[in-house]
Structure 1
């Protein structure tokens, strides 16, 4: 079958392409793109005037809760939410139950993803057994089972000697190392950002220093090991000077933030709103602005969701007992588009932050529009406005402070190989 997408804004960050034109697909593979493609063969045409046509997004920070907490999310529901959010490849974090610290769990995720997944899933395995920070897992066997990286996400590897060895081992096995940057000695028991609202609500705060100290330590170890470390979900302005220092020093690292850290402030937790409880916590307006500036400068050049589903059982309880986290797979695109609307990023830069740069971290070839590449295409309307209702959300869990709020920007169609999926 030949498929022609007509009159769209074609954006491919792998080729630095941003043009209005047509994209031709045949038998599930890219044939090419041009300003105007005339073809007489039997063909299906999709009119994309006013729409953007991009390769599928890549999210390297997703919690699928499978195995062990399938009442919150599972591989099938999580990948369906990803599909509706335009995320056609994702990496899932290892803090499952049991944690992904063995080849058996990794193999389970790979097998179930192939059987039930709507999109491609890449497992991230644990750095340490049981995420206890004491004994390194078997990186080689985990990679053989399908792991593309290691992380103790949800916990920081407190022991610097173990983290240093993990970087050296990961370098040998060519695995990504993703760090949850939070010194628990400083943040232990913290509920929200340390500041005005923690004082007002009588809740123990998490200071920015917990994130900053972890970032500095990991950057220094990355320098010694000459192995890149990926700094996950950065949230505070206090880390920015150290990212600049690391760039100047030539230290290998990548840095990520999430849409809620450049969109929301700690004000969201007022009145003990557990939907806004997240880890690291939402911070101040100054922090939000600093994160946006860091994205503009390229100090942070990856946007991921940290999609963290929780059922009402974990959210509709006392604030101190509520689990931190919010869903994000269907929010990634509309919230990130605000960076373009506000002039911080161009559409092409945003596409790099959502497609090519995250792909580099986990060492995969990104979706693209190069000739003969498999069709992994999303067609989006950047201007469509709609209300985020529970019915719209495809995750099992609905935990987001954006619930019943207006969003702008929506995925209209997905083309996967020779399948055309209309998302209504």
Structure 2
């Protein structure tokens, strides 16, 4: 350890000691600590203990809690610009910090959409001025998210957009999407696409099947997702562009992703924490907070998604954070808006899978940290000397009950309302600075 010997507030080392180190690559519970200096990890391991630290170091005893990289969420709606009544960058990043999320990839389907460099610049400045965690803009693939005219991907990338998506919209025109992929390939840009055949999903409001019939609701077939995803993968093979499926929710989609990866195509995919931990039966008596897009699927599909995540076929977990206000959720199920908040509960919900023996803690953390960092080309998401000190401390066994009134998001449409959870985040650091600390 090489630590400046002269005490300085500006360069005071911070040490997290007496913890269990977990990441998605190297550490799976080793006892030790992390030493931080000037916003980066200076050293880590079992030798990071109070007896080995200089007197001027600030020391936090983690009491056996987990020390892990901060989570990276690749799908979240942050409200600004144009939907500040649903969420703002300030409230979204406060929720993220409380949930252990240190980097957010913001969706581009705002008002106006993120289809001009000026909007990218606005988001970066607002995040700098009001955000508690890192916020990275994703920009639109097409102007106005209309799926017709390709956006200026090169200029948007220069302005600071790290990925490109039309948010919750699918580009139905195959010719346009081929051109999008070809254009993105020339800039080595990541294309994130929400795969759904809108003609096939039509007026559906939940997963098609027996349960939808019993509730008297129109269904969305699994094929609506699979048909569009299969088309996308064929166009990726044609163009060679980097492609990320925003959300996969069915075994049909898993088969398509498996074939694409076996063929060596540059394809990755995500699953939302909701589809991993909930199923269509949880909708119960028309619970609109569980009306999502894509819809919650059958329990067999949920289990298949968990297995695919455990095997590495599914790359990452996202919150799919989508705040909706009371006026759009307190409606008959068919009329309510899609979406649920998730930044603050993503980790705790994921720990349900760990506690059930369906997933290892290391794999869960890797799917929320290292793998999204690799896909986005970020230096965060790992416990490694020289990496940014975006870190979290949490107790995976501490129980609590989700109280919407205590959540930091502006809207309270959580699918885990009054649910019993385990896994309380106690400390969130961004570049070594405290973004959240539990009281």
Same fold at TM > 0.5 = yes
**Matching residue of 2:351:** 337
CA distance in 2, matches of 1:245, 1:416: 38
CA distance in 1, matches of 2:302, 2:28: 30
Q: Does 1:185 pair with 2:199?
A: yes
How far off its partner does 1:380 sit?
Answer: 0.6
* 8 Å CA contact retained: 1:257, 1:300: yes
* 8 Å CA contact retained: 1:61, 1:90: yes
* 8 Å CA contact retained: 1:32, 1:369: no
* 8 Å CA contact retained: 1:414, 1:423: no
**Matching residue of 1:105:** 119
**Matching residue of 1:385:** 399
**Matching residue of 2:24:** 13
**Matching residue of 2:34:** 23
> What are the within-5 Å matches in structure 2 for residues 248-397 of structure 1?
248-397=262-411
Q: Does 1:46 pair with 2:57?
A: no
Aligned residue for 2:199, secondary structure, equals helix
* 8 Å CA contact retained: 1:3, 1:25: yes
Q: Does 1:411 pair with 2:420?
A: no
Q: How has the CA–CA distance of structure 1 residues 125 and 27 changed in structure 2, closer, same or farther, with 3 Å as cutoff? A: closer
* TM-score after normalising by structure 1: 0.96
**Matching residue of 1:423:** 438
**Matching residue of 2:247:** 233
**Matching residue of 2:164:** 150
**Matching residue of 2:237:** 223
Larger displacement relative to structure 2 (404-413 or 345-354) = 345-354
* 8 Å CA contact retained: 2:271, 2:317: yes
* TM-score after normalising by structure 2: 0.93
> What are the within-5 Å matches in structure 2 for residues 61-72 of structure 1?
61-72=75-86
* 8 Å CA contact retained: 1:193, 1:281: yes
Q: How has the CA–CA distance of structure 1 residues 418 and 301 changed in structure 2, closer, same or farther, with 3 Å as cutoff? A: closer
CA distance in 1, matches of 2:380, 2:28: 15
Gaps of 5+ in 2: 1-11
Q: How has the CA–CA distance of structure 1 residues 40 and 366 changed in structure 2, closer, same or farther, with 3 Å as cutoff? A: closer
Give structure 1 regions of 4+ aligned residues with deviation exceeding 6 angstroms. none
Q: 1:125 aligns with which of 118, 121, 139?
A: 139
Aligned residue for 1:241, secondary structure, equals helix
Aligned residue for 1:262, secondary structure, equals helix
Report the RMSD for the aligned CA atoms in angstroms: 1.5
CA distance in 1, matches of 2:437, 2:230: 45
* 8 Å CA contact retained: 1:201, 1:270: no
Aligned residue for 1:344, secondary structure, equals coil
Aligned residues: 424
Larger displacement relative to structure 2 (96-105 or 302-311) = 96-105
Q: How has the CA–CA distance of structure 1 residues 25 and 296 changed in structure 2, closer, same or farther, with 3 Å as cutoff? A: same
Deviation digits for residues 189-214 of structure 1 (CA, Å, limit 9, x no counterpart): 11011112221222211100001111
* 8 Å CA contact retained: 1:191, 1:277: yes
How far off its partner does 1:132 sit?
Answer: 1.0
* 8 Å CA contact retained: 1:92, 1:123: yes
Q: How has the CA–CA distance of structure 1 residues 391 and 41 changed in structure 2, closer, same or farther, with 3 Å as cutoff? A: same
CA distance in 2, matches of 1:253, 1:44: 43
Q: 2:45 aligns with which of 34, 43, 47?
A: 34
Deviation digits for residues 70-99 of structure 1 (CA, Å, limit 9, x no counterpart): 111011101111111111001011111111
**Matching residue of 1:137:** 151
CA distance in 2, matches of 1:272, 1:416: 39
